[in-house]
Amino acid sequence: MLMVDLILKKRSGHELSDEEIHFLITEYVNGNIPDYQMSAFLMATYFQNMTEHEATALAIAMRDSGKVYDLSSIKGIKVDKHSTGGVGDKVTLVLGPMVAALGAKFAKMSGRGLGHTGGTLDKLEAINGFKIEQSEEDFVKLVSKYNIAVVGQSDNITPADKKLYALRDVTGTVDSIPLIASSIMSKKLASGADVIVLDVKVGSGAFMTSLDEAEKLAEVMVKIGRLAGKKMTAVLTNMDEPLGHKIGNGLEVYEAIETLKGNGPKDLVEVCSEIGAYQLVDAGIITDFKKAKLKLEKTLTDGRALNKFREMVLAQGGKIDQIDNPELFLTAKKHEVLANKSGYVEKMITSDIGTAARLLGAGRLTKDDELDLLVGIDLHLKIGSKVEKGDVIATIYHNDKGLKEAEKILQNAIIIGPSKRSVTLIEKTIR
């Protein structure tokens, strides 16, 4: 088998076999296929697309290029979720304890964030002592005992995906739906869960800004997961405004804790209960979707979800004082941003709000950038909110870095006008 033949085959729009895809991934990881040939193949794929079967074979080949977690010793159905990324997305911190409190086995491997704010791991590291690095054996023990663990992905998970993504990043082939879908699903398949719910963000603060493109991506990922034997759901959620109010690692932990106490923002609770209900139904724990949502929301008011979060933090080495006194996450300097006119919040340029948080030190552009885990933004308004000139529309938490530029960006990103608008939070569900 020759790589040049596979390039020509894909360039002509033909479907590659499982064996051919396995060959090109295995040989590329082993160093027998040079970057220039793989770049040519990626570009051919970009223009000619892939069938669902090809995308599944690619995801499985990348999964098998490294370590695949075996969670079979954990009794019960293991559930997982993945978000395509957004501003203020602290869903895992709330969702995990909610479903775990009702008996689901929430086995979550997360990554670090690049861009607006940190990833789930960075948020958890705002909790003093929280240990994200766990062996496979300890990960299994934690989920078995507490129904929940959130840990860092092993360095040897999907090495093929890491190599391919680095190449896609410099060859203009990042935004190919089958390549995105197989990349995401390779990691999810390697993580070992039985039930996977995808939170596919769409809007001005998401990778996919149009509903049509987000829907296409979601459909491919769901089909890859099903062909690989997983129970799959994709929930398309709106990211035309940040989720919740707080953006920034420690601030988002604070808001997650408040939500687990029953005091959370409506949109965050809705997304968590929607995703969690599909997890519970597919895991066979609660068969009725509406009942599952109601029971999940009850865990936020009866203390069970908060207790499960405390259990997870303690089990993974975290200090409980910040959980019991979440104001400890709000110790950075504060600066108020005032409305320059009266009216309604008509629109938010969510990506710019995320950029403002990154300039404060809440996010990173490269993996080597250091985060300030206590800085960020507290947005006091949502789209449709009424505002008077001089009202405080946001509070910036800062340690001097990037303050002036962040404030300027925020003023331009929160657009006030005469019309009262609303946002549809759950755009679509694909099962």
Secondary structure (3-state) at 193: coil
Angle at 410 between CA 407 and CA 414, to 5 degrees: 150
Strand, coil or helix: what is 9? helix
| Distance, CA of 394 to CA of 324 (rounded, Å) | 25
Q: Report residue 304 as tokens.
A: 């069970």
CA distances from 395 to 122, 251, 256, 328, 346 (A): 21, 11, 18, 16, 19
Secondary structure percentages of the chain, helix, strand, coil, to 5: 45, 15, 35
140, amino acid identity = V
User: In sequence order, what are the residues at sequence separation of 6 or more whose Cβ sits closer than 8 angstroms to the Cβ of residue 294?
Assistant: none
DSSP H helix total and E strand total for the chain: 17, 13
Which among 254, 223, 199, 268 is positioned nearest to 428, based on CA atoms?
199
Angle, CA of 111, 113 and 114, to the nearest 5°? 135
Q: Which amino acid is at 126?
A: A
DSSP assignment of 87-139? TT--HHHHHHHHHHHTT-EEEEEE----SSS--HHHHHTTSTT------HHHH
b/e per residue 158-190 (b: at least 16 CB within 10 A) = bebbbbbbebbeebebbebbbbbbbbbbbbbbb
Q: Which residues are catalytic?
A: 82, 161, 168, 183, 187
